[in-house]
Amino acid sequence: MTSKEILIRLYKNYTSKYLNRILIAGVFSILVAGSTSMIAYLLDPAIKKIFIDKDQTLIYLIPIAIILAFSIKGFALYFAKVNMIHVAENAKKNIQSDMMSSLINADTKVIDSKHTGKIVSNLTVDTSVIVNLVSVVLLNIFKDTITLFGLLFVMFYQNWKLSLIAIIMIPFASFTAQKLGKRMGKVSTAGMVNAGFLSTHLLEIFKNHKLMKIFQREKYENERVNYKLEQVKNSAKKIATIFVRVSPIMETLTGVMIALLIFYSGKLIFKGEIDINNFFSFLAAMMLAYQPVRSLATLNMGIQAGLSAAKRILPVIDEKTEIKNKSDCKDLNIKNAEINFNNVCFKYDLDSDNSNVLKNINLNISGGKMTALVGLSGSGKSTILNLIPRFYNTTEGNIEIDGQSISDLSIQSLRKEISLVSQDTTLFDDTIKNNIAYANLEASNDEITEVAKKSFASEFIEKLPDGYETIIGENGLRLSGGEKQRLSIARAMLKKSSIILLDEATSSLDADTEQKIQKALNLLTKNKTTVVIAHRLSTILNSDRIYVIDSGRVVANGKHIELLKDSTIYKNFYDKQITKQ
Ligand code: ADP
Ligand code: MG
């Protein structure tokens, strides 16, 4: 995207809606420019009439006019800014909302590849920089340009020779500003990358708090954090320094300009080409022009910083989804909920030359029964599960449910029929009730207590201080592993889907909890098509069929007894990896 395209895009998507506000701000800007120029102009008659001609009639009028001009300027500036604040905050909210919605709808593959810390700073810092571009910068360009023109008009009106000297300085100022602006773009990108690292680190400190304590890595983490902070500091310092670097250059230029002017106007006054009242009015206009010139000179930096922020954010918003409904997709029509994998090959990164993670997988998963996947870790079992609800598209081959290829189905109808109970139970920072009701937002209290009973979750929920209304904290911090599992089973029960995908926990719990979870799972999976990544003998014995996965291939399938006889891989696996309960 070129800078021009970015600007047009930002305007179209985020600011054009507020065009009326921008126009109002524009009108007030014209008032600012007019009143500023008026202030400079008024010094001419004020000095001439009051001080030179000693005219007493104007002694009241001119001061009042000056007060008026100043207050009009102040109020106009206020209203112009208020309108632009409205535009800015709305635009920011809309950019953030677009970004969040793009992430909520993003493919799993995209989320896998994102850096949380970076996204957090994109969402918070970058959006502010962008709206600064579309509001403050936009307003200043207009306001300062016309103010400058108004003041130049006063200057030329008073004396064109002096004015020419004054405007010779403008190209110098804009040249420096352009140079600094380019640097700004680069530095601000580097700064954002560092800020991203910092937020990731913060998340990690919370997540890995106990790990850090047990390995006594507090000092190490402190050093790491300080190293990152040092980098963040350095880039923040660079950005701020570039911004203030304008001051010495601009001040020196102003000094040179004023010196030249005083020298030259001395000559002009001597020759009688200019009167003292014209000179003062001219000087006032020139001094007042200092602020808009300075602001216009620094604009480029704001623009560059905004553009580079937009280059980071817009791609996140524009991320295309590959997992989407075909235009002629149909709704899934469940009969037995039988699942078939036909020559499925899969790799996570299509661009890489790595071999497929799944190689020619053929599975026949009977409807209403339990099918187990077993195999060493890394063999591809979770990947197989993830393909069924189309978290990823298959690279080759297809998956059918009751003879309907899942890629032809509407994703809504497909996922509606699938529940996922995974090893790392995920909970939201919300009440117990809402965590269960996530499966069905319309569920009644009775339905929720019913599934909580069936999943043996009610017995611990009822002991909690606020029962179902207890807030469980980020990722269920306040619950034990077994309790979290029972909640996720309750949630899956509430969904009442015909297919259950189960990634059995590897860590064993105490016998009592284990038994309850087993019973809950039996209830959940009864007469449902269940695909389970099995780690326990009891699950394997319950299974209608077992598939042995090894390095992305199906190497054997059958019932436990048959496999023990026929498959050495299975026998080895069974001897070493299966929890025999
Ligand atoms: P299992 O569940 O049998 O332990 P997985 O299906 O999780 O195995 O992983 C199979 C292979 O795919 C492994 O080599 C793993 O490193 C790789 N893999 C898993 N998830 C991803 C991912 N999101 N991106 C890239 N590679 C992945
Ligand atoms: Mg796995």
Read off the pLDDT of residues 353-386 as tens digits, 9 standing for 90 and up: 888 999 999 999 999 999 999 999 899 999 999 9
Atom of ligand 1 nearest to the CA of 375: 3
pLDDT above 80: residue 580: no
pLDDT in tens, 4-37: 899 899 989 998 999 999 999 999 999 999 999 9
The amino acid that residue 9 corresponds to is R
Task: Report how far apart, in Å, the C-alpha atoms of 567 and of each of 70, 270, 361, 384, 578 are.
Answer: 92, 111, 18, 21, 15
Atom of ligand 1 nearest to the CA of 373: 3
**Residue nearest ligand 1's atom 10 by CA:** 380
As a whole number, mean pLDDT of residues 496-500 equals 94
What does the pLDDT read at residue 202?
80
User: Model-level pTM?
Assistant: 0.80
Cβ atoms within 10 Å, residue 386: 19
What stretch of H or E contains 117? helix 116-121
As a whole number, mean pLDDT of residues 350-354 equals 81
Better-scored residue on pLDDT, 549 or 286? 549
The residue assigned the tokens 């580079």 is 308
**Residue nearest ligand 1's atom 19 by CA:** 383
As a whole number, mean pLDDT of residues 459-469 equals 89
Mean pLDDT estimate for the chain? 88
Give CA–CA dist 532/370, Å, rounded.
7
Give CA–CA dist 303/137, Å, rounded.
7
Quote the tokens at residue 214: 């047990």
What stretch of H or E contains 156? helix 138-158
Q: Are 487 and 476 in contact (CB under 8 A)?
A: yes
Ligand 2 midpoint to CA 360 (Å): 19
pLDDT above 70: residue 119: yes
Of the listed ligands, the closest to the CA of 111 is 1
Q: Are 150 and 37 in contact (CB under 8 A)?
A: yes
What does the pLDDT read at residue 526?
92
What does the pLDDT read at residue 394?
95
What does the pLDDT read at residue 242?
78
Of the listed ligands, the closest to the CA of 550 is 1
What does the pLDDT read at residue 286?
86
What does the pLDDT read at residue 581?
64
Ligand 2 midpoint to CA 504 (Å): 9
What does the pLDDT read at residue 96?
94
What stretch of H or E contains 217? none
pLDDT above 80: residue 507: no
pLDDT in tens, 280-335: 899 889 888 878 887 887 787 788 888 888 998 999 999 998 999 999 999 999 99
What does the pLDDT read at residue 173?
66
Give SS3 for 389: coil
Q: How many residues does the chain have?
A: 581
Ligand 1 midpoint to CA 358 (Å): 10
pLDDT in tens, 151-168: 999 999 998 988 888 887
Q: Answer yes or no: is the C-beta of 304 below 6 A from any ligand 1 atom.
A: no
**Residue nearest ligand 1's atom 23 by CA:** 112
Radius of gyration of the chain (CA): 35
Write phi, then psi, for 127 (nearest 5 degrees).
-65, -35
Query: Which stretch of 91-95, 389-393, 469-473, 562-566 has the lowest confidence by average pLDDT?
Result: 469-473
Question: What confidence category does residue 492 fall into, taking pLDDT thresholds of 50, 70 and 90?
Answer: very high
pLDDT above 80: residue 476: no
Q: Answer yes or no: is the C-beta of 382 below 6 A from any ligand 1 atom.
A: yes
**Residue nearest ligand 1's atom 24 by CA:** 348
**Residue nearest ligand 1's atom 13 by CA:** 378
Give CA–CA dist 182/446, Å, rounded.
63
Q: Answer yes or no: is the C-beta of 379 below 6 A from any ligand 1 atom.
A: yes
Of the listed ligands, the closest to the CA of 355 is 1
Give CA–CA dist 450/457, Å, rounded.
10
What does the pLDDT read at residue 233?
87
CA 455 from centre of chain = 37
Ligand 2 midpoint to CA 379 (Å): 8
Better-scored residue on pLDDT, 194 or 148? 148
**Residue nearest ligand 1's atom 7 by CA:** 382
3-class SS shares of the chain: helix, strand, coil, % to 5: 65, 10, 20
Give CA–CA dist 448/432, Å, rounded.
10
Give SS3 for 405: strand
How would DSSP label each residue in 462-501? TTSTTGGG-B--GGGTTS-HHHHHHHHHHHHHHH--SEEE
Give CA–CA dist 45/237, Å, rounded.
48
Cβ atoms within 10 Å, residue 24: 18
Quote the tokens at residue 501: 């995908």
How would DSSP label each residue in 120-150? HHIIIIIHHHHHHIIIIIHHHHHHHHHHHHH
pLDDT in tens, 384-402: 999 999 999 999 999 999 9
Burial class, 430, CB count within 10 angstroms (exposed 0-12 / middle 13-18 / buried 19+): middle
What stretch of H or E contains 550? strand 545-550
Atom of ligand 1 nearest to the CA of 552: 10
State the angle between helix axes of 276-318 and 218-270 in degrees (0 to 180), rounded to the nearest 10: 150
Give CA–CA dist 341/336, Å, rounded.
16
As a whole number, mean pLDDT of residues 228-253 equals 80
pLDDT in tens, 164-200: 888 876 677 667 666 776 776 677 666 666 666 777 7
Q: What percent of the chain has pLDDT over 70?
A: 95
Ligand 2 midpoint to CA 419 (Å): 17
What does the pLDDT read at residue 174?
67
Cβ atoms within 10 Å, residue 264: 16
Mutate to test the pocket of ligand 1, among 113, 354, 361, 383 (most ligand atoms within 8 A of CB): 383
Q: Answer yes or no: is the C-beta of 386 below 6 A from any ligand 1 atom.
A: no
What does the pLDDT read at residue 290?
78
Atom of ligand 1 nearest to the CA of 381: 3
The residue assigned the tokens 């507090």 is 218
**Residue nearest ligand 1's atom 2 by CA:** 382
Ligand 2 midpoint to CA 381 (Å): 6
Ligand 2 midpoint to CA 427 (Å): 19
Enter the DSSP assignment of 401: E
What does the pLDDT read at residue 251?
77
Atom of ligand 1 nearest to the CA of 386: 6
pLDDT above 90: residue 244: no
Q: Answer yes or no: is the C-beta of 449 below 6 A from any ligand 1 atom.
A: no
Edge to edge, what strands does the sheet with 418-421 contain? 418-421, 499-503, 529-533, 370-374, 545-550, 553-558
Give CA–CA dist 317/339, Å, rounded.
35
Give SS3 for 365: strand
